[in-house]
Structure 1
């Protein structure tokens, strides 16, 4: 097939040179819905429910938000999960954990992931990359959760019997931190909308 048979319809980002344009006519594209569904299913298959993460968000934000409900926390977890960066981190991280369980990674990577080696920081790096789009509140909250490991994060971190959650526990930290930041910003926006208008 010649280049003329394709339409230059997609670019990697605005402002890139023309040679960064790729031809979409012959490429299979994955829909956003399919990625979102796959990410949530991957979490469920690993024993992580949206409500588990919402519990962490509730505990984090209750001291700062009177009348906070679990429904609001669930809504913000789902809102955070709508971000492509987070969906991609979930899919990559969980896939690496599963491959490590099956002993399908090459050495020394297999041992690093399998043992969750203390100096192996790629798990945190992937999770932090997903945090970056939610601002400084998410970043500092991620650090706190990664250290304290409350609720399901701690359970994932300590899970044995052939299970590898090296990436998953950090990803759950990321989701909870992102949802907490999202919630904090939305509550502030609601408060400001209730302020009397200046004349």
Structure 2
């Protein structure tokens, strides 16, 4: 008999997988800060962290984390069949399934998220670079791209939120100006 898995269980499991692999929300937030600070002088790490947490509330990213980390772990234990095992273990350059899985969740956050993901995939900033570094340690073929996806989505979410806040502040200023009585009337 199939049972439906409660969303709390899925989220907790996805967050645990990230933690088990050495990925912290703060590490992702640092990438978000680096991507967004040139555009917002008042940006805080707290707002970046809040945006990362909001992205991780989405089932699509939780599912992608569970699938990607599982595939990385299976490759570490040599439990994938060949040639897939070698492709995943070596993070073969022409293997695009890792980016495809990660990119799927980015689309919900618009063009800023898509272009930011592409930038992060190419330039491997912060935690992404640490995960992408190939050595004889853990396999992170999927995880580095998933972290880029989370950071890109959180960056886009934050960019839109900052713009909304700026526009709301401008509107309040305009309302304040229009409330001042005209001294030259009469």
Q: Same fold (TM over 0.5)?
A: yes
Aligned to 1:192: 167
Say which of 138, 145, 158 aligns to 1:170.
145
What per-residue deviation string (whole Å, max 9, x for no partner) do you get for residues 26-62 of structure 1? 6411111111111111000000000000000001111
Uncovered stretches (5+) of structure 2, i.e. residues with no partner? 179-186
Cα deviation, residue 159, structure 1 = 4.3
Aligned to 1:33: 8
Which of 78, 85, 100 is the aligned partner of 1:125?
Answer: 100
Aligned residues: 174
Q: Distance in 1 between matches of 2:73 and 2:85?
A: 11
Paired residue secondary structure (2:94): coil
Supply the distance in 2 between the matched residues of 1:146 and 1:162 (Cα, whole angstroms): 21
Residue in 2 that maps onto 1:89: 64
Confirm or deny that 1:57 pairs with 2:17.
no
CA distance in 1, matches of 2:120, 2:80: 28
In the alignment, what sits opposite 1:151?
Answer: 126
Alignment partners' CA distance in 2, 1:84 and 1:130: 9
State TM-score, norm by structure 2: 0.90
- SS class of match (1:195): helix
Which stretch of structure 1 is more off in the superposition, 134-143 or 187-196?
Answer: 187-196
Structure (1 or 2) with the greater helix fraction:
2
Residue 137 of structure 2: SS of its match in structure 1? coil
In the TM superposition, 1:11-50 aligns within 5 A as 27-50=2-25
Question: What are the Cα deviations for residues 1-32 of structure 1, in whole angstroms up to 9, with x where unaligned?
Answer: xxxxxxxxxxxxxxxxxxxxxxxxx6411111
